Amino acid sequence: MATVLSKRSPSISTIVRNFASLYSVRLGFLIGGWLAPEAAVRKAAALFTQPFASSRARALAAPTYGAAELDLSVDGTPIHAYVWGDPKQQPYVLFAHGWSSHGTRIGPWVKPLRDAGYAVVAFDQAGHGRSGGTHTTLPDFTCHLLAIGHHFGPAAAVIGHSLGGAATALALARGLEAQRAVLIAPAADPLAAVERFSRFVWLAGDLGRRMFARFEQAMRFDASELQAHNNAPRIGRPALIVHDVEDREVPWSEGERYARFWPESRLLSTRGLGHNRVADDAGVITAALRFLQGEPVGERVVSSPNLPYGFC
């Protein structure tokens, strides 16, 4: 029986409830940051590391496109994986999804990749989809991607979207074996992400920075270790960076930063696809397949490191 996905718009009452909930959170941070800053920082840290509650429901409702499914334990957390084809017998492509997303987000790519002779492996990050856990971070994203790559062996390519793109670059710089990489709308800087989060929830900027400093202390890392310009130069494999110039969630300048500092990369800029549709676009998929076959796609970014990101 065919799976039918409803495209019905949310009801007025649902929109009103979501709107009211968002402004309740914002007012809570606005007032709480003034009256009880430490409590606001703790609450912000919990919110920053917890995927949207609706993302699990979306993942469970999404089709799996006939994937073989298995669970792997990574540091005690069950990680749910999806496999199309046989990665032991065929070159395979590994997919890393973004924040509040899921592994079967790769669905539109599966048939084109399979037709091109690739097996495909995807998985749900901790706190996402069918995997265990409730909270996760970019270092966790990276750790779990490395673990999945180790389990299935060297990949022909790895594709990462959004935060999954950031994790892809970090994993490649730390030993993930893949011949090529495609980063779609990749986040380049956790400090910039904290600034965007703080603005969105009306958390004072100094409290956002205090929140992130707590992560650094607790997890024993420095923000500089996660920034694109400090990792991309260490990756000696070809990459295609795809980013939409009208992306409102992760600015195009962050994709340009990867392309500027990644020695064997090229930048493919799109317009009108935004942050999410760019990952499903047929033209982007076709261009990525050409890149995987060794064709030159996109433009080589040559610019001075002294220029602001997003200029070349």
SS3 219: helix
Supply 235's token pair. Answer: 């990756």
pLDDT per residue over 144-200, tens digit each?
A: 999 999 999 999 999 999 999 999 999 999 999 999 999 999 999 999 999 999 999
Average pLDDT over residues 1-26: 48
Supply 63's token pair. Answer: 């089709």
Query: DSSP state, 87?
Result: T
pTM of the model: 0.89
Supply 307's token pair. Answer: 């220029």
Quote the percentage of the chain above a pLDDT of 70. 90
Q: How far is CA 34 from CA 29, 37, 101, 204, in A?
A: 8, 6, 33, 9
> In the prediction, which pLDDT does 1 show?
28
- CB neighbour class for 79 (10 Å; exposed up to 12, middle 13-18, buried from 19): buried
DSSP secondary structure of 100-117: T--GGGGHHHHHHHHHTT
pLDDT per residue over 228-249, tens digit each?
A: 999 999 999 999 999 999 999 9
Q: Predicted confidence band at 306 (pLDDT cuts at 50, 70, 90)?
A: low
Structural domains in the chain plus CATH codes = 11-48+190-224 (no CATH), 54-189+227-312 (3.40.50.1820)
Query: DSSP state, 223?
Result: G
How big is the CA angle at 221 (ends 215 and 225), to the nearest 5 degrees? 120
What lies within 8 Å, CB to CB, of 38 at 6+ separation is none
